[in-house]
Amino acid sequence: MTLQNLPLSRRNNEIKDSEIPKYVGKLKGFLGYEALAKAQADLDKDLTHHGCCYRNWAQELRPWLFAFRIYDRETKNGVCIPKKWPAEIREMVGDARMISSLHYGMPEDVREKYRKDLLTDQHNDFMVEIHTAWHYYLQGFGIQWSPLGPDSCPEFRVRGGSLDFNVECRRFTCDMSEHVKTPAIADTCDMIYEVLRTRNLWGEVRVDFVNDFRFDPGLIRRWPEALTRALDASQIVIELDPSVRLTLELKVAPSRTYELEELDALARDQQHPARSFLVCKQEGELSFDPVVFRCYGPRKTSTQLRDYIYKTLKEKVATQLSPDRAGVIVVRFNGIRDPHVFNESKGINDALSKLFERQHLAAVVMQCEGIAESGMGSILYSTPSVVFRNPVTAFPNVAVAKHLS
């Protein structure tokens, strides 16, 4: 019996709390202790030049590095077990569980590539590949990773249950649609926050960037004086320079205290698309005096976005997915939380219609940003998604397969 025809038998996804130290150790061993120490040192060097907003952004890019620090602090470098494991550790251990199972099937060059890439700012891009492989692995499929080489190839091949198809992954970030990039936005917000903090102000700040904004550290160092003068004059709308305008809704400290869940809701409570940062003071597990930044900037038009997404995915289909085997593309969109957007977007549907002219492409899975919810001592990780099946594919059995959990 070939691997393709092997019956599917669902695999286990459970992790007990008592196993958490074991999986943390496995992940450190996989990455390599020297490489991990160097990555932590590089992170420290990076953070010394920036503030809290930038730090929050860095934590999104390199979550394991921060989670390892929390683990070492909570366990006193591994000598004790906390009564309750923080969510960041639980999420990292979930990733460790996946890698500890999947890496055995990887060629050594692929394994080495993941060791390096998962410690970089591209961590989340490569975790999309791990999460996708894990989905099929849990269903009982065999995962065959493509070795590195001069020829383009998909991330991996999936076989079992009378199916045989290639899978390619792609992740799009918020910066895809923005002309002003996240590091510049974060540093600008950090400068504003320092001024507000010294004056004991909290609330919401809208930051509008215009088309010709260019991040200039020398210029930004002069902004605190301009902002201070404007606050002294009780201005609500402040133009730091022709390219940055602030709209303030502030109160004098102290605020009431906030639970973590309330802060998360506060950061995401927005009527229009914006890049949000939240900074606050803390005392134990409670937080107070939050400042929420809603950052708006010039964005690509819907046509520009459609063309960019289509061009990127078209190249994936043409170069990564062989026409003699069914192909599936999994696309993750950071910053999108409602999967209905994919069905309702004319641009997305126009791009898919063009992609589906290639009959070996069986399906495209559009995924939202991953959501981790904690409760009853567990972490439930989900990625709200929509499967678009090619109506004219040459591989209809792959198109109708279970591409969502």
Structure tokens at 81: 């077990």
Handedness of CA 125, 127, 130, 134 (dihedral sign): negative
Q: Is residue 173 part of a domain?
A: no
Does residue 293 carry a pLDDT above 80?
Answer: yes
- pLDDT at res. 217: 77
Q: What is the CA radius of gyration of the chain?
A: 23
341 and 262 share one domain: no
Handedness of CA 146, 150, 151, 155 (dihedral sign): positive
Does residue 285 carry a pLDDT above 80?
Answer: no
Does residue 361 carry a pLDDT above 90?
Answer: yes
What's the structural domain count of the chain? 3
Q: Is residue 54 part of a domain?
A: yes
d(CA 290, CA 255): 8
Does residue 239 carry a pLDDT above 60?
Answer: yes
282 and 267 share one domain: yes
Q: Is residue 146 part of a domain?
A: yes
284 and 376 share one domain: no
Q: What is the mean pLDDT of the chain?
A: 90
- pLDDT at res. 378: 62
- pLDDT at res. 138: 95
> Between 24 and 173, whose confidence is greater?
24
Residue after which a domain boundary falls, among 296, 315, 335:
296
193 and 153 share one domain: no
Rounded to the nearest 5 percent, the helix, strand and coil shares of the chain are 45, 25, 30
| For helices 63-74 and 87-102, angle between their N-to-C axes, nearest 10 degrees | 110
- Among 18-32, 133-147, 265-279, which is the least confidently predicted range? 265-279
Residue after which a domain boundary falls, among 269, 296, 323:
296
**pLDDT tier at 270 (50, 70, 90 boundaries)?**
low
111 and 235 share one domain: no
CA atoms within 13 A on the CB side of 146: 20
Judge contact between 100 and 30, C-beta under 8 A.
yes
191 and 143 share one domain: no
Q: Which residues contact 16 (CB under 8 A, 6 or more apart)?
A: none
- pLDDT at res. 40: 98
Does residue 227 carry a pLDDT above 60?
Answer: yes
> Between 39 and 262, whose confidence is greater?
39
**pLDDT tier at 259 (50, 70, 90 boundaries)?**
confident
**pLDDT tier at 244 (50, 70, 90 boundaries)?**
very high
24 and 157 share one domain: yes
pLDDT digits (tens, 9 = 90+) for 127-156: 999 999 999 999 999 999 999 887 788 999
Closest C-alpha to 250, from 239, 261, 235, 268:
235
361-367, strands of its sheet edge to edge: 142-145, 156-160, 163-172, 326-333, 361-367, 385-389
> Between 6 and 200, whose confidence is greater?
200
pLDDT digits (tens, 9 = 90+) for 317-351: 999 999 999 999 999 998 888 889 899 989 899 99
Q: Is residue 404 part of a domain?
A: no
Q: Is residue 170 part of a domain?
A: no
Q: Is residue 32 part of a domain?
A: yes
Backbone angles phi, psi at 395, to 5 degrees: -130, 65
Query: For the chain, how many residues are written?
Result: 405
111 and 151 share one domain: yes
Residue after which a domain boundary falls, among 250, 269, 296:
296
pLDDT digits (tens, 9 = 90+) for 59-118: 999 999 999 999 999 999 888 999 889 989 999 999 999 999 999 999 999 999 999 999
Judge contact between 27 and 160, C-beta under 8 A.
no
Q: Can you give the residue range of the structural domain that contains 371? A: 302-399
How many helices and strands in the chain, by DSSP H and E? 15, 13
- pLDDT at res. 273: 63
Q: Is residue 30 part of a domain?
A: yes
29 and 116 share one domain: yes
DSSP secondary structure of 290-331: EEEEEEE--B--HHHHHHHHHHHHHHHHHHHS-TTSEEEEEE
List, in sequence order, the alpha helices (H) in 321-375: 340-344, 346-355
86 and 145 share one domain: yes
pLDDT digits (tens, 9 = 90+) for 151-186: 788 999 999 999 999 999 999 988 777 788 888 899
Does residue 1 carry a pLDDT above 80?
Answer: no
Q: How far is CA 196 from CA 234, 299, 338, 390, in A?
A: 13, 28, 33, 53
Q: Is residue 171 part of a domain?
A: no
Across the range 212-240, mean pLDDT stands at: 87
Across the range 280-299, mean pLDDT stands at: 87
203 and 256 share one domain: yes
153 and 23 share one domain: yes
